[in-house]
């Protein structure tokens, strides 16, 4: 059922855009690509489908699924229902790296400059948070959240400084990147998103019983043989790596990692074996749906996808607060 939903949404996402295509045309183009006929006589429509829109749909699936799983794990290890992939300075660090490229250095390494700088910025923020927690602020999940917020504000200030002091003509590019989008989707960049997704998804499935034990509290988990502090730090590091991989291509897409775990728990319960899989499916579906809205609501102009997910997330949080 979930896979059928993703396939349907992916076909719609490929069909819509500045040049609208019918679903049969999309299917024909995909069949031609698989059978090898497209390589003999590539039509403009086939090129739109295979070279532009299919990588974009696949990136939405990988990034949405990965962010959903990251949010699920972070909410478990921090015992915070409002934890999401961007609570710990990841987005601010990645944004600082991207803004450095856009406003200061330029594409010194060609097409890979922006994704690489954003990835390095996100990982640098994560390492700083881990150092703060392990060396300066030893303690439980509350310390991890406080350290993440401090690092987030630090990198946010650095980003704003570079925007103000750099080339003002680049401000529009900076704004669009920080609001998130799938415009960088290319076949040669998809392996980055795939590695990010597989890292957090495989880790979550391999450790699902340990995450289940955390639901009963740290002391209970420790009596069951779980090294709680190691698991918490390993989870944060894997989540940081995956999130940095996604952000390096998509920019900052907020609220997906916050909403998805709550929706998944309401359908499958708190145990992680099924929760992780459903979080991946729902995350992919939400990001695909948001991309469809972002490309059609102001067509032919494209709306940053982060605006759509943030709007949905704001309504979701209001509904969550009313239930508490």
Nearest-angstrom CA–CA distance, 70 and 280: 9
Q: Which of 7-21, 177-191, 215-229, 274-288 has the highest mean pLDDT?
A: 274-288
pLDDT over 80 (residue 310):
yes
pLDDT in tens, 217-238: 888 999 988 998 899 889 988 9
Range of the domain at 143: 2-323
- Mean pLDDT (whole number) for 150-158: 86
pLDDT confidence of residue 159: 82
pLDDT confidence of residue 76: 93
pTM, two decimal places: 0.89
pLDDT over 50 (residue 154):
yes
Length of the chain: 324
Confidence of residue 68 (pLDDT cuts 50, 70, 90): very high
Nearest-angstrom CA–CA distance, 271 and 287: 24
- Mean pLDDT (whole number) for 83-109: 78
- Mean pLDDT (whole number) for 288-298: 91
Q: Which of 143-147, 150-154, 184-188 has the lowest mean pLDDT?
A: 143-147
First-to-last C-alpha distance (Å) of the chain? 31
Residues 6+ apart with CB under 8 A from 103: 162, 163, 165, 166, 167, 170, 174
User: Residue 177 maps to which CATH number?
Assistant: 1.10.3470.10
Average pLDDT score, the chain: 84
pLDDT over 70 (residue 41):
no
pLDDT confidence of residue 172: 67
DSSP letter for 72, please: H
Number of separate domains in the chain: 1
Residues 6+ apart with CB under 8 A from 289: 9
pLDDT over 50 (residue 38):
no
pLDDT over 70 (residue 169):
no
């Amino acid at each position: 059922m979930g896979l059928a939903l993703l396939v349907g949404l992916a076909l719609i996402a490929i069909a819509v855009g500045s040049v609208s295509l019918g679903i049969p045309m999309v299917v024909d183009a995909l069949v031609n690509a698989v059978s090898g006929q497209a390589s003999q006589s590539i039509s403009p429509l086939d090129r739109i489908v295979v070279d532009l829109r299919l990588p974009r749909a696949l990136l939405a699936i990988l990034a949405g699924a990965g962010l959903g799983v990251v949010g699920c794990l972070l909410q478990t290890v921090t015992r915070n229902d409002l934890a999401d992939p961007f609570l710990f300075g990841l987005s601010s660090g990645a944004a600082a790296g991207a803004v450095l490229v856009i406003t200061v250095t330029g594409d010194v390494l060609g097409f890979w400059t922006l994704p690489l700088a954003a990835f390095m910025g996100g990982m640098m923020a994560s390492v700083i948070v881990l150092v703060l927690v392990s060396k300066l602020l030893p303690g439980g999940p509350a310390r991890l959240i406080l350290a993440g917020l401090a690092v987030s504000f630090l990198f946010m200030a650095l980003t704003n400084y570079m925007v103000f002091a750099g080339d003002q003509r680049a401000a529009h590019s900076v704004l669009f990147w920080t609001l998130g989008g799938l415009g960088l989707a290319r076949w040669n960049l998809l392996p980055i998103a795939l590695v990010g997704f597989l890292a957090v998804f495989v880790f979550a499935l391999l450790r699902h019983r340990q995450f289940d034990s955390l639901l009963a509290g740290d002391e209970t988990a420790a009596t069951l043989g779980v090294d709680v502090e190691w698991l918490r730090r390993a989870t944060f590091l894997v989540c940081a790596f995956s999130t940095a991989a996604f952000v390096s291509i998509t920019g900052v897409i907020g609220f997906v990692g916050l909403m998805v775990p709550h929706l998944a728990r309401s359908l499958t319960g708190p145990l992680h074996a099924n929760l992780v899989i459903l979080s991946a499916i729902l995350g992919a579906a939400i990001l695909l749906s948001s991309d469809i809205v972002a490309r059609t609501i102001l067509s032919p102009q494209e709306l940053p996808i982060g605006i759509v997910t943030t709007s949905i997330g704001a309504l979701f949080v209001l509904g969550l607060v009313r239930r508490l």
